[in-house]
Structure formats: structure tokens, C-alpha cells
Amino acid sequence: MKDNFKGKLFVFSAPSGSGKTTIVRHLLAQKKFNLAFSISATSRAPRGFEKHGEDYYFISLQDFKNHIKADNFLEWEEVYRDNFYGTLKTEVERLWAQKKHVIFDIDVAGGLRIKKKFPTQTLSVFVKPPSIDELKIRLKKRKTETEEKINMRIAKASVELATAPQFDKIIKNYDLEVALEEAEVLIGEFLDLKKSES
């Protein structure tokens, strides 16, 4: 490869319902940051209006396991039984080939793995919800999952919240406007910081 553009990586992780997807979408709309979204692969079925190649790469459980065996993932996780999520190495390469910085909206374990693989290139951000009760309200409002699924997510959220100190930054999403502003500042600083160093 004659052109080795290595962009920055921005990892946003949080329990389901914390608002990280809203923050990531907002940041992608800010052209000055030159960000592209890393599309995760998953073995689960599409929900609602989700599209293959846009929201996720929807692949079969067997294909997912084959990719794991072939070491094709930067990170992967069995989030729930037979419900895998992961980031294909080719996805980051695809975005770097477009000279973009990559933004991730992924689970906590995956986010920390990416930070570990690219320690200086990655800014890892944990989005903290106001409370577990508020999370439950937000998840119920979505009306996309059963009560049982919601309870599973809530149980997982308690564990995920404990990992927050392992991230570079924590954004408390109590007020969305404030959280969006804070996210913009963090990204701007990380990009400028690296420019001034080089």
C-alpha cells in the first residue's frame, strides 16, 4: 500500500438506551470532523427499518463464526446467546482508504478492545445515562423489544456502568444538548491535538 492514511478512531460505548447513537449521528453530521461510521457485523436479524450495509452487516451465525476462525475481526463479542456483534478489519480499512476518521457505536467490551489495539489513535468515550430507571423508561419507549429482552439489557447495563472509568472520557447524557456539545469539543480537541503533535 503506497498510501498509508491512518485516521483516528472514536469509540462511543454505553448501555443500550443511553443515547450514544444519537450522539454519534450528530457527530457524523459535522463535516469539519471528516468522520465515517464503522458498520458493525451482527448475527441477529434486522429490527424495524434496519438496512444491511447501512445499520449493520447482517450475516448468519455460521458466517460470523467462520469470520472469527479466520481472525477477520478487530473485536467481536457474544452479547447475548448466539447473538454476536463485531467489527470487521476490512471495515476500518475501507474507511481509512477514503481518508476518513472512524467513529464506532459499539458495546463496552468491543470499545475497550479497539482502544487496546490502537492506544494512541483511539479516543474512547463512555456515555452515561442519568440512571438505570431512566434507561428502562427509554428502552420501553422504543417498543422494539419484549419485557424479557429489556430486563436482560438492564441487567447488562449495571455491569457496563462499572467499566466507565476504563474509558478516556465520560459524557453524562442528562441533557442531550449539553452532551452533544461536549462530544463535539472532545472530538475537536483530539483531532487538533494530534495535528499539532505531528
Every domain of the chain and the residues it spans: 9-197
DSSP code for 40: E
Element at 128 (helix H, strand E): strand 122-128
Topology adopted by domain 9-197 = Rossmann fold (3.40.50)
The two counts, helices (H) then strands (E), for the chain are 7, 9
Angle between helices 132-142 and 147-161 (to 10 degrees): 140
On the question of pLDDT at 69 being above 60, the answer is yes
Q: Could you tell me which of 142, 138, 141, 104 has the C-alpha nearest to residue 124? A: 104
> Measured between alpha carbons, how far is 75 from 121 in angstroms, rounded to an integer?
16
Tell me, what's the pLDDT at 4?
Answer: 65
- The pLDDT tens digits of the residues spanning 155-176 come to 889 899 999 999 999 999 999 9
Provide the whole-model pTM.
0.87
Average pLDDT over all residues of the chain? 91
Residue with cell 463485531: 86
